[in-house]
Amino acid sequence: MLTHGLLVAIIAIFIIGWLIRHAITIILAGIAIAVLLSITGAHTLTDLVPDPHVVAQQISSLIDEVSGNSAPAQ
């Protein structure tokens, strides 16, 4: 039969292992974001997101061009 202290130690080991595993994941995600920002030259993650109005205009222009409603931009 396990004593109370041994049971607490086993649970603590599992919790510490879980925390270390997640800390490594967070560190790797931070490194990946830093590499992405350095490659693209962006200062923040929001710099990577295009303006929705510009995207909508580009999609609309592409649809018009494909459907033949307007001449392609020159």
Reported as a single tens digit per residue, the pLDDT across 2-41 is: 688 898 999 999 999 999 999 999 999 999 999 999 998 9
Residue length of the chain = 74
Q: Quick one: average pLDDT of 53-66?
A: 90
pTM for this one? 0.54
Computed from CA positions of residues 48, 51, 57, 63, in that sequence, does the dihedral angle turn out positive or negative?
positive
71, pLDDT greater than 80: no
Distance in angstroms (rounded) separating the CA atoms of residues 53 and 40: 22
pLDDT of amino acid 22:
95
Please report, for the chain, how many H helices and E strands are present, in that order. 2, 0
pLDDT of amino acid 25:
95
72, pLDDT greater than 60: no
The DSSP secondary structure of 31-68, one letter per residue, reads HHHHHHHHHHT-SSGGGGSPPHHHHHHHHHHHHHHHHT
pLDDT of amino acid 31:
95
